[in-house]
Amino acid sequence: MNPISTKQVWWLLITVALIWFANLEYRTLIKPDEGRYAEIPREMVVSGDWVTPRLNELKYFEKPPLQYWATATAYTLFGEHQWTSRLWAGLTGFAGILLVWFAGLRLFGREAAGYAALLLSSSLLYVLMAHINTLDMGVTFFLTLGIVGLLLGQAQADRKKQRNWMLVAWAGLALAVLSKGLMGLVLPGAALFIYCVVQRDFGVLKRMHWLPGLAVFFAITVPWFVLVMKANPEFFERFFIYEHYTRFTTKTHGRYQPWYYFIPILLAGALPWTVLMFDSMFRCVVGGGRGRGLPDKMFNTQRFLLIWAVFIYAFFSVSGSKLPSYLLPMFPALALLMGKRIAEMRGRVLLWQVAPAIPVALLLLGLALNVGKFADTPNQMELYPHYGPWLVVAALASLAGLLAGMLLLWREKKPVAVVVLALSALLSAQIALSGYETVARERSAKHIAEAIRAEVKANVPFYSVLTYEQTLPFYLKRTFTLVQYQDEMAYGIQQEPQRWVPTVEEFARVWAVQPEALAIMPVYAYAQLQQLGVAMKIIFKDTQHIVVKKP
């Protein structure tokens, strides 16, 4: 079994990168997350205020600013585009693959490192979330950086090298905190404590280099928190109490799901490596699992990776707020475990672990051929059939890759087989994701922006009545005055009530005295405003929204 040469590795890296970044611009932004996380940095650039995050010019304290800063920087350098809004997710996702390779190389050897990187680059959930503008991929990268720093630090006998890697770990956790809040510190801290208890090994706590580590951590995190609290005294209660404790312990965000919510997400998200994932975890439980060449007294690398992955799953399963992307921090750790496991097994063993993905690909093909049957609304009935061909091609690409990979595994050509399986899985996911553009209109306002752009002027007020279309501000490059609508902006409205109109009745009075004005509303709201005697001329209408101007 010949290993892949260095030249082939470089060609493989270029191929993965091309597939990875090819469609960042292709797809329309969709609501809510992509619109929100594209708009907040845009407003930072416009206002010049990079301390207080704002959405629709209202204070928005749900998350820290690191991704906002990164995206605002991309806007400043390259312009405000769909691809620049997604660039941070794409870059941190790709960097995570390289980080896993580096960690695997140091901990488990060259072969395991290559497999781990390939597996991470082709795991379905990881690929999808690296191409959607949310905060989860960024925080996953920095959590992984913190974990890798910990693992490599604990593997060092030389105290200076140990300290340097632990400083990397502390810096990674600090950047995770600036990405998505205290979870960047709490989750790794809890996982490390569980490891100490399970392994009966508290010696790691003596090797954390607490003083220099905390100095690095606070030097990175404290400045922004000081500045934002100085500018916004109300920030502490909203961010530290409501957005952390209340969000986790209650159902206040409307994201409550049953405890088993993540089971199908994990099973599908790990494809095509789902069976291998469970096998690797089981082997870690029964096999001890130390890093490469580490003495018994040193840190148990594989056991910590297992504890981290299981803890992330359990933590969010009991949380009152659940979204599929919350599982992302599991995947780099699982990729490292799976990479080591593949390096130890024969090709035909892996063949039988990949084989269950065949019926999944066939099921996807069947769904693709009948996707129109899942439409519930007239809009969906029109759009869904256009998505079908993309899903068919994605399913066929997956199926072809699985069959070719299994044939290679049968012939014990494991390295080439894993490359074929990974590239086909990555390509399949990207095709399916790109095809979503055919139905994106249902969850985006780009077409509205294009239709009304000529009517929109900077000095003409624009009202958003009983709704807030998250993607429209980004595409129109302007904000709106909300009318009888609060949702996630309720706190910002509470702080600055002069920025909204509380009722449609008051809006009717405000509208009447404006020389020029525009408004967007749900279709049902138009009749309600007509009954109030609001004079309106329709300039755009589809199945969901109506845009009017004052005649």
DSSP string computed for 209-250: -HHHHHHHHHHHHHHHHHHHHHH-TTHHIIIIIIIIIIHHHS
Beta-bridge partner residues of 500: 482
254: left (phi over 0), alpha (psi -120 to 50) or beta: left
Q: Which of the four pLDDT bands, split at 50, 70 and 90, describes residue 5?
A: confident
pLDDT of 50 strictly over 70: yes
Judge if 220 and 298 occupy the same domain.
yes
Judge if 93 and 173 occupy the same domain.
yes
**What digits encode the pLDDT tens for the residues 504-520?**
999 999 999 999 999 99
Q: What pLDDT does residue 295 have?
A: 46
d(CA 448, CA 465): 15
Q: Which is more confident, 460 or 239?
A: 460
d(CA 270, CA 102): 21
DSSP H or E segment with residue 525: helix 523-531
Q: Which two tokens stand for residue 242?
A: 């409501």
Q: How many CB atoms lie within 10 A of CB 323?
A: 17
Q: What pLDDT does residue 247 have?
A: 60
Q: What pLDDT does residue 468 have?
A: 97
**Residue 392 within a domain:** yes
pLDDT of 255 strictly over 90: no
Judge if 490 and 428 occupy the same domain.
no
Cis peptide upstream of residue 522 (ω within 30 degrees of 0): no
Pure H helices in 318-466 = 330-344, 347-354, 357-369, 378-410, 414-435, 446-452
pLDDT of 252 strictly over 70: no
Judge if 337 and 355 occupy the same domain.
no
Q: What pLDDT does residue 239 have?
A: 86
Q: Which two tokens stand for residue 442?
A: 């249902």
d(CA 149, CA 164): 9
Judge if 273 and 417 occupy the same domain.
no
**Residue 64 within a domain:** no
**What digits encode the pLDDT tens for the residues 159-184?**
999 999 999 999 999 999 999 999 99
Judge if 279 and 394 occupy the same domain.
no
Question: For the chain, how many residues are written?
Answer: 551
pLDDT of 250 strictly over 60: no
Q: What percent of the chain has pLDDT over 70?
A: 95
Judge if 106 and 149 occupy the same domain.
yes
d(CA 335, CA 98): 12
Place of tokens 């990175």: 220
DSSP string computed for 57-84: TEE--SS-SHHHHHHHHHHHHH-S-HHH
Q: Describe the strand order of the beta sheet including 462-465 as a list of residue ranges.
A: 500-501, 481-483, 462-465, 518-522, 545-549, 537-541
Q: What pLDDT does residue 240 have?
A: 82
Q: Please tell me whether residue 484 adopts helix, strand or coil conformation.
A: coil
**Residue 500 within a domain:** yes
Q: Which of the four pLDDT bands, split at 50, 70 and 90, describes residue 123?
A: very high
pLDDT, mean of residues 486-499: 94
**Residue 455 within a domain:** yes
When divided into structural domains, the chain yields a total of 3
Secondary structure string (H, E, C) spanning 17-46: HHHHHCCCCCCCCCCCHHHHHHHHHHHHHH
The helix/strand count (H/E) of the chain reads as 25, 8
Judge if 351 and 493 occupy the same domain.
no
277 lies in which domain range? 89-344
**Residue 147 within a domain:** yes
**Residue 243 within a domain:** yes
Judge if 176 and 217 occupy the same domain.
yes
Q: Which of the four pLDDT bands, split at 50, 70 and 90, describes residue 375?
A: confident
**Residue 482 within a domain:** yes
Q: Are strands 518-522 and 545-549 parallel, antiparallel or unpaired?
A: antiparallel
Q: Which of the four pLDDT bands, split at 50, 70 and 90, describes residue 321?
A: confident
d(CA 185, CA 179): 11
**Residue 145 within a domain:** yes
**What digits encode the pLDDT tens for the residues 382-404?**
999 999 999 999 999 999 999 99
Mean pLDDT (the chain, rounded): 93
**What digits encode the pLDDT tens for the residues 274-309?**
999 999 999 998 875 554 444 445 789 999 999 999
The answer for residues whose C-beta is within 8 angstroms of residue 202's C-beta and 6 or more apart is 196
Judge if 544 and 528 occupy the same domain.
yes
Q: What pLDDT does residue 294 have?
A: 43
Q: What pLDDT does residue 547 have?
A: 98
d(CA 187, CA 348): 37
Which pTM was predicted? Answer: 0.95
Q: Which of the four pLDDT bands, split at 50, 70 and 90, describes residue 3?
A: low
Q: How many CB atoms lie within 10 A of CB 35?
A: 26
Judge if 339 and 407 occupy the same domain.
no
Q: What pLDDT does residue 157 have?
A: 87
Judge if 216 and 283 occupy the same domain.
yes
pLDDT, mean of residues 10-37: 96
